[in-house]
Structure 1
């Protein structure tokens, strides 16, 4: 089953905060006063927050209500855009990055495909990545440079580049949620992460004057296969 992609381009949030979050606990303090810190979630999970949203048209209000029904309080999965093209390894023309083309979706409310009409960044996996792998080999086909901090996705798995460890090989977080095969598309243009609505999050806000709504929404990465 192909999951729908949350249509952030329809709702146009002014603020997007998409990042891997690591849960930790204290392992106790040694006699020398050094405190150990232990990660409890296998390397972190994605949290995506969209805020400062202004819904002003009937189409936007209907779509938001439809998605509130679809997400069912966080029990149903979808793909959620990271919205990170601005920091991706984009091609440059003269003294600035190439102009971004129009986004194209196969459905205005519940799309299963969202792309730029002219792709910005082309890349594929240069080698297999195992389950829980944190080292990813990328063949960047388009002109550009990966320097660290870029975000991308492969088959609904979101990654953030930490640094290059060998030519074309990068340390990433969080670990891969599944084994990924050489040649798989690496999506820097419109990366998406498999998520659910944050539990107990009420995404519906009051409609002002019967016409306007100013909601926000928070997604968390779905529990990965294998419990990492």
Structure 2
């Protein structure tokens, strides 16, 4: 079973880190040592100080940690990095909310549809372990090195200065961009697969069975931390 991180739980700090799969050799007489790596690594993520202020938040946190079964079940979680996303409109978010039906009506709870303002797609098929892709832009701001993105809820980071193959119009419409990334692609993806820059997600699991413990002050408030590791067992 794959668990979805509850939307009402928003950490104060998030630290995604690509942990290298490297080993250090012994120190030579000159003080140097050899570094050997078997792969590009795997994601670790620490979510710190998640504000727990309501009864719903208490229940959702308890459910998440219990249902994760000490790391047995996967958790799909965002990286909460919208400020670094390629937003096409300065000082705006990565999505539009409250969009009504064609007749102008909203849902019964007063909400509407949501549409992303950052939409990109794979231009070609991408093979397992690929480290470069080309994307077609429907709408997005400039893609920059150091940005997170996800494909099929697997997290990656742009590691090269993107090259614009086809220039686009306003808000990047029609642009085609190619770039390198890490870690290598976890699962092969076909032409037209969404490349999520607006709200990238990672598939993780609990890093240890005892992480995520919740202590409540006067039975109501808490600020728990949780350590996650990528749900990936290697190629």
Q: TM-score, normalised by structure 2?
A: 0.80
- 1:55 equivalent to 2:52? Answer yes
Any unmatched runs of 5+ in structure 2? Answer: 99-112, 165-176
Q: Cα gap change, 1:165/1:10 in structure 2, threshold over 3 Å: closer, same or farther? A: closer
Larger mean Cα displacement after TM superposition, 12-21 or 161-170: 161-170
Aligned equivalent of 1:10, options 8, 11, 25: 8
Residue 31 of structure 1, CA deviation: 6.9
- 1:206 equivalent to 2:215? Answer yes
Question: Which portions of structure 1, spanning 4 or more consecutive aligned residues, are displaced by more than 6 angstroms?
Answer: none
Q: How does 1:49-198 map to 2 (within 5 A)?
A: 49-92=46-89, 96-101=90-95, 117-164=114-161, 166-167=163-164, 168-198=177-207
Residue 200 of structure 1, CA deviation: 3.1
Any unmatched runs of 5+ in structure 1? Answer: 105-115
Residue 117 of structure 1, CA deviation: 1.5
SS of the residue aligned with 1:23?
Answer: strand
Q: Distance in 2 between matches of 1:127 and 1:27?
A: 40
Q: Distance in 2 between matches of 1:201 and 1:138?
A: 40
- Deviation per CA, 1:174-198, whole angstroms, max 9, x where unpaired? 1111111111001112211111111
Aligned equivalent of 2:22, options 24, 31, 34: 24
Alignment check: 8 A CA contact 1:161 1:173 kept: yes
Alignment check: 8 A CA contact 1:20 1:45 kept: yes
Q: TM-score, normalised by structure 1?
A: 0.83
Alignment check: 8 A CA contact 1:137 1:169 kept: yes
SS of the residue aligned with 2:139?
Answer: coil
Taking only aligned residues, the RMSD between alpha carbons, in angstroms, comes to 2.2
- Deviation per CA, 1:33-81, whole angstroms, max 9, x where unpaired? 64221124x2111112111122111111111111121000111112111
Larger radius of gyration: 2
Q: Cα gap change, 1:212/1:130 in structure 2, threshold over 3 Å: closer, same or farther? A: same
Q: Cα gap change, 1:11/1:35 in structure 2, threshold over 3 Å: closer, same or farther? A: same
